[in-house]
Structure formats: C-alpha cells, structure tokens
C-alpha cells in the first residue's frame, strides 16, 4: 500500500492469507463432491440462510451500527449483531471498524487501506490497484491505530470482549451449519456438506461481495453526489451486498442508515433496520433530510 503502514506480525499475515485460501479450498471441495453426492437442498438452504445472517452482521452490524452509529439498539441486539458479523470471518469488530473509519478519513488517498487509485496510471497499474483494493491489502496485513479510530468502542466492555473472542465466533459460524445439516440429513455426509456449503462456501461469497464494495464500487458505477473520492453506485453490488453497493450515496452521507436513497435502489440492510425500529428493537435511525440530499446532488 502506498503511504504509511503500521507493521503486522507474520502470524497475523499468515492468518489473513489462510482466511482467504480456506474458503477457496471449500469451494473446490464443493465442486468435487458434486459428482458423488449431487446437490441437496439442505446444505444449499443453509448456505443462503448463513449468507444472509452473516452478511447482515457485516452490513447492519459492523458497518452501520458499530462504524457509523447510524442507529441505536439494545445490548442484546448489539451482542447478536456483533456475533453474526464476527461469523463472517472478516476480522474482529475493533479491527474492521478501525480499517473502515481510516478508509473514510483518507478515501482514495495514500493512507486509504484499500483504494484502487494509489498505484499510478495505465492498464497494468489499474489491475494492480483493483487487486490491492479487493484482497491484496488483506494479504499484506493491516494494523490500524485503534486508539485513534475506535476509542469509543474500546470503552465498551462487551464490544471489546466480542472483538477478543472473534476466533470463537468464526468457529461457531463454521460448525453450526455442519451440525444442523447433519441432524436434518441424519448422516456424516450431511455434516460434511453443511460445513462446506454453509461454512466455507458461504464465507467465500460474503468475503468477495464485501470486498467488491472496496474495489468495484470505487471504479465502476454512477456518482450522483459530490464526494472527495471516487466512490460509485453499482447496481449489482447494491443488490448482492444488501445495500452496501450504493457506495457514492454512502460516502456522501456516511452516517445515514439508508444507503439506497432512491425508491428503486434496493437496500435490504435498511429494510432490516426499519423492521427492527418497527418492532422496538432500533431507535434514532439516521437518514438525511430531502433538502440535504438535494443540496449535495451533482449537477447534471
């Protein structure tokens, strides 16, 4: 990465690389096992359910609750959302939030942890930048200044504990679909398929959809709002990433709980937050006023 880096230990770097390679190995195993086992609705159903739950743990929890405080919720829901986000295997709460806050502060400049625009001009440098933004920054390891970026979360004992026990929740997220699938199918084959599809393949999908917001949504898409960076709205990422792909909207209004600001911009994460609000589980949901949205819109 161009700019100032805080060194990380070889152990952390090795764990980051393993977190990328193991889900890929799971996908390859899933493909190989299609020949003897075929396709079964239980592991595929668990893949879909776990994708939604852990993906929302990232989008609603890690991003909109912990990073930007775009809404408030009680301690029980904070715990549940924190656990679901941890199951995504994208890093502990404190590390994830610190990286993302650093990204917003230095977006598309040298100290942005994952900008695709800091590697120079030309086709080859664009490819290098996309690789870096998508996953290269993870393989190199990141070590953001927690005291600078997450002092508020460090004061919360429960959040600190959830962050510290991050590996436990990753393991739970892997074993839970294996156990459920094994019990439903009443076989060790079910345990294996649940672990592969609901665990490893699910992590792979959540990872690459999330990382696409860092890479794709800073290169391809529309820029309806003024921002100090190259953030863009991308329809495909908007849907697959549960609203996170409306990235230019988000960078224009980072504390907004709603990223899909137009009626047609599907934002599942915001629907979940509004549902929580209707059930009394969320409060102080922050959305910019219409006048503020209009004032920041770019001239045609």
Look at residue 4 in the predicted model and tell me its pLDDT: 45
The answer to the question of residue 5 being in a domain is no
- 94-114 pLDDT per residue, tens: 999 999 999 999 999 999 999
Beta bridge partner(s), residue 297: 225
Cα 68 from Cα 61, distance rounded (Å): 10
Cα 202 from Cα 55, distance rounded (Å): 9
pLDDT at 300 over 70: no
- The tally of domains found in the chain comes to 1
pTM of the model: 0.94
Specify the 3-state DSSP secondary structure of 73: strand
Report H helices in 57-145: 75-87, 93-105, 123-131, 137-140
Cα 35 from Cα 165, distance rounded (Å): 38
- 148-207 pLDDT per residue, tens: 999 999 999 999 999 999 999 999 999 999 999 999 999 999 999 999 999 999 999 999
Lowest mean pLDDT among 36-50, 59-73, 252-266: 36-50
Full residue range of the structural domain in which residue 233 is found: 10-296
């Amino acid at each position: 990465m161009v700019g100032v880096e805080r060194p990380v230990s070889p152990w952390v770097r090795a764990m980051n690389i393993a977190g990328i390679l193991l889900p890929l190995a799971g996908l390859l195993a899933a493909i190989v096992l299609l020949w003897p086992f075929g396709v079964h609705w239980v592991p595929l159903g668990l893949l879909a359910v776990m994708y939604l739950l852990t993906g929302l743990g990232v989008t609603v929890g890690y991003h909109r609750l912990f990073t930007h405080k775009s809404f408030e919720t009680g301690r029980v829901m904070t715990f549940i959302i924190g656990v679901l986000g941890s199951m995504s295997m994208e890093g502990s709460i404190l590390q994830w939030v610190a990286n993302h806050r650093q990204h917003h502060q230095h977006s598309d400049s040298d100290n942005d942890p994952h900008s695709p625009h800091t590697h120079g001009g030309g086709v080859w440098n664009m490819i290098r930048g996309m690789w870096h933004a998508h996953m290269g920054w993870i393989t190199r390891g990141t070590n953001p200044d927690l005291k600078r970026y997450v002092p508020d979360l460090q004061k919360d004992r429960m959040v600190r504990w959830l962050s510290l026990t991050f590996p436990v929740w990753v393991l739970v997220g892997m074993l839970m679909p294996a156990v459920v699938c094994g019990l439903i199918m009443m076989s060790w084959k079910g345990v294996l398929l649940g672990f592969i599809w609901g665990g490893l393949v699910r992590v792979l999908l959540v990872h690459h959809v999330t990382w696409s917001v860092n890479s794709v949504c800073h290169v391809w898409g529309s820029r309806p709002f003024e921002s100090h960076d190259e953030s863009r709205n991308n329809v495909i990422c908007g849907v697959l990433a549960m609203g996170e792909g409306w990235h230019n909207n988000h960078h224009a209004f980072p504390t907004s709980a709603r990223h899909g600001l137009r009626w047609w911009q599907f934002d599942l994460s915001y629907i979940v937050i509004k549902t929580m609000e209707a059930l009394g589980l969320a409060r102080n949901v922050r959305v910019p006023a219409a006048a503020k949205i209009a004032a920041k819109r770019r001239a045609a």
